[in-house]
A and B are shown apart, each in its own frame.
Chain A
Amino acid sequence: MGSVEMRALRCVLWRDLLLALRRRGDVATALLFFVIVASLFPLGVGAQPNLLREIAPGVIWVAALLSSLLSLRRLFESDHADGTLEQILLGAAPLGVVVLAKAVAHWLAAGLPLVAIAPVIALQYDLPAVLYPVLALSLALGTPVLSLIGAIGAALTLGLRGGGVLLALLVLPLYVPVLILGAGAVEMSAAGSGGEAQLLLLAAALVFAAAFAPWAIAAALRISSE
């Protein structure tokens, strides 16, 4: 990447992180949502340790999915509202790089905290401690993919009436492979056969998404901003 792209990447990344830092409340609410959703399942299915241990990977992953979905709205909304998005579209920085930077910033503010908190939730579900690294790694690899794919949905539904629900409808089917791979990695690990295959596939998905999602996000932003 040339120096213009690197500068643009650094600039947008720094700006978005700064904004997220100033709106710590938003970040905290998404995190809290993650914790609350994960706490609802035992209330719904009963607190038998064996059952909870079995459903833990799936539940944690679904909660991470939903929490990531909630925080996607603010990816482009505030910029769209105050006109910054138009400036970006008209500006010299390549749009693909800008949206990649925004997605990375989103992940750092919304996805990485989930990775950090996940072992605490796993503790609630009595997941054996030996599985924590796999869980954290699967989330660390998967949540960026969620941010990238979700950003496509956020760009497509920018400013629409349907709002968050429409975004969820569009994006959740696309999240399914990440969910299956992520939860599957932990489950395979728990069963003793090691989750390396799933983790490698997740890494491949991340590379693929990082390479191709920016095109889709940029195209969607241009379509939504006319």
Chain B
Amino acid sequence: MNDFLAMGGYGAYVWPCFALAAAVLAWNALAARRLHERAREQACRFGAEIRTETPVARILTRAGRATGVVLENGDEIAADVVVSSVDPRLTFERFLEQHGLMSR
């Protein structure tokens, strides 16, 4: 066994070669796999549904964080993040009026 590892005195060159090749090839395969997994996740996630003619009535909050919106037709949509492109006055006066932020 020792003879085998020594490789006739060249062990220090032969084994790093094979180890390096195995490491690089394994890393390549794992990277490809990770790329595949991540692409799959993102393909599932980045779908967007666009609704028009659907006015928002209120922004729901809990413990100081936005948790969704209520539509004028009564539907509730839960969300982690609510982005309002309406001007700040309108956002705070109408959609968040329950907090009375504008009266302070």
Please tell me whether chains A and B touch each other in their complex, using a CB distance cut-off of 8 A: no
Name A residues whose Cβ lies closer than 8 Å to a Cβ of B. none
Name B residues whose Cβ lies closer than 8 Å to a Cβ of A. none
